[in-house]
Amino acid sequence: MRILIANDDGIYSPGIATLAEVAATFGDVRIVAPDVEMSSAAHSITASRPLSYKRTPIKNFEAYRVNGTPADCVALGAYHWEKVDVVLSGINLGSNLGNSMWHSGTLAAAKQATLLGMRGIALSAPVTWSEPNFDALKPAVQRVLELLLPNSDLTLVNVNFPDEEPKGFRWTRQSVRHYDGQVVPGEDPMGRQHFWFTSMPIEAAEAGTDRWAVEQGYVSMTPLRLDLTNEAELSTVQSKYSLLE
């Protein structure tokens, strides 16, 4: 199995080396990731300037850094390495739950894999008062890959780890009830007004969702699809306004 590893935290982030180490027990691994942090870049691509692809040492892995977005990295990685089976993205420093999925560069790398005909799995761990203990996370990452990699029906999966030793594993759906993005005003040291756009949970999560599972101490695994069509609204408007002449 050919496993391409990407992320949005940048190629020198500790989570990517942990993911590569665990993934190497399942197949051939190559790392292609942004040269700097691209968190919240979502699924943007670089179309207005050329991209570079440079070899760089990450432990003993074949690794390349790209001056582009997570989606660019997956495109270049697949171009330089034929027949990649699956793209693993992460392990991100920070959860990608619920509406965070819209902004996530970590998930975008996995989505880009799916767009290019490969499978994609995004993995994220919460940052609380300190960064995740990636060594302690390795057995849970191993178990997730044991569950997901042999199952080729799963084309795109978003995985989130809890901030403690996991109680177990749960299949979940995306929590989308309310948007938790908020503008928070502040002042710089010169007294000038500025703003942070930040994301904070605003209410308890519904049972069965990704946020709920992680809050309960489980590893959350959400199968996703790229088709955003609202089927119920589509059939409503089709019957209301047939548009057929």
In this chain, which of 18, 69, 89, 92 binds Mn ion, going by CB under 5 A?
A: 92
Residue 239's identity, in one-letter code, is S
100 contacts Mn ion (rule: CB under 5 A) = no
Of 16 and 140, CB closest to Mn ion: 16
CB of 237 to Mn ion, least distance (A): 37
CB of 42 to Mn ion, least distance (A): 11
210 contacts Mn ion (rule: CB under 5 A) = no
d(Cα 233, Cα 240) in Å, to the nearest integer? 10
d(Cα 199, Cα 113) in Å, to the nearest integer? 26
Judged by CB under 5 A, the stretch of 34-42, 59-67, 133-141, 147-155 that binds Mn ion is 34-42
Of 157 and 187, CB closest to Mn ion: 157
CB of 177 to Mn ion, least distance (A): 24
In this chain, which of 5, 6, 8, 22 binds Mn ion, going by CB under 5 A?
A: 8
CB of 231 to Mn ion, least distance (A): 32
Q: List binders of Mn ion among 130-169 (CB under 5 A).
A: none
39 contacts Mn ion (rule: CB under 5 A) = yes
How many binding residues for Mn ion (CB under 5 A)?
4
Task: Give Cα separations from 236 to 56, 177, 231, 242 (angstroms).
Answer: 53, 22, 9, 10
Question: CB atoms < 10 A from the CB of 28, how many?
Answer: 14
Judged by CB under 5 A, the stretch of 63-71, 92-100, 176-184, 223-231 that binds Mn ion is 92-100
CB of 67 to Mn ion, least distance (A): 17
CB of 133 to Mn ion, least distance (A): 17
Judged by CB under 5 A, the stretch of 86-94, 147-155, 162-170, 172-180 that binds Mn ion is 86-94
In this chain, which of 4, 9, 122, 175 binds Mn ion, going by CB under 5 A?
A: 9
d(Cα 171, Cα 126) in Å, to the nearest integer? 18
Of 152 and 198, CB closest to Mn ion: 198
CB of 166 to Mn ion, least distance (A): 21
User: Interface residues with Mn ion (CB under 5 A)?
Assistant: 8-9, 39, 92
